[in-house]
Structure 1
Amino acid sequence: MHTWQMQEAKARLSEVVKLAESEGPQDITLHGRSVAVVLSRATFEHLSGSGQSLVEFMRQSPLYGLEEIEFERDRSAAREVVL
């Protein structure tokens, strides 16, 4: 990952963005401390998930549409706790 000082990143923003797309994330520092990372859209999409909503995700479940779901309870003895 290439590191840029804030002033340099501001002055060369288009280059920073192009490098994020072609070479990967670009680190931006302020007073020697990392404060931001510029990512390509593809990397962002990959890291943030598939882009689908929770409802869409749930509809892909093999359980979707079932009227009633029966869960079997574990009937084994509970553990003993020493008080």
Structure 2
Amino acid sequence: MHTWQMQAAKARFSDLVQRARQEGPQEITVHGRPVAVVLSREMFDRLSGGDLSLVDFMQRSPLHDLEDIELERDRSPGREIEL
């Protein structure tokens, strides 16, 4: 991943976007600290699921056709309750 300082990212924004499309995510830093990542729209859609509904997502799961999945609920309290 290429790293851009904020000033360079602002000055060369079209280059930053082009590199995100061609090379992948581009990191932006302020005072040496990472603050943002620029992605191509294609990568964003792929990572976010695009237009898939929750039902579509679940049906595409590799676990969709399995019948022997046993899910056990953790019955421990989430926090201690004082009475």
CA 59–28 in structure 1, closer or farther in 2 if over 3 Å, else same: closer
User: Displacement of 1:4 after TM fit?
Assistant: 0.2
The answer on 1:10 being equivalent to 2:18 is: no
Shift of 1:57: 4.8
TM-score if structure 1 supplies the norm length? Answer: 0.64
Q: Per-residue CA shift, 1:44-74, capped at 9, x if unaligned?
A: 0111114222355578878xxxxxxxxxxxx
Structure with higher Rg: it is 1
Question: In structure 2, what is the equivalent of residue 67 of structure 1?
Answer: none
What do the CA deviations read for 1:11-50 (whole angstroms, capped 9, x no partner)?
Answer: 1000000000001100000010000000001110111114
Q: How does 1:1-80 map to 2 (within 5 A)?
A: 1-54=1-54, 57=57
Query: How many aligned residue pairs are there?
Result: 64
Query: What is the SS of the residue equivalent to 1:52?
Result: coil
Distance 1:57 1:37 in 2: 25
Give the SS at the match of 1:51: coil
TM (normalized to structure 2)? 0.64
Q: Which amino acid aligns with 1:37?
A: V
Which contiguous aligned blocks of 4+ residues in structure 1 show a shift greater than 2 angstroms? 53-62
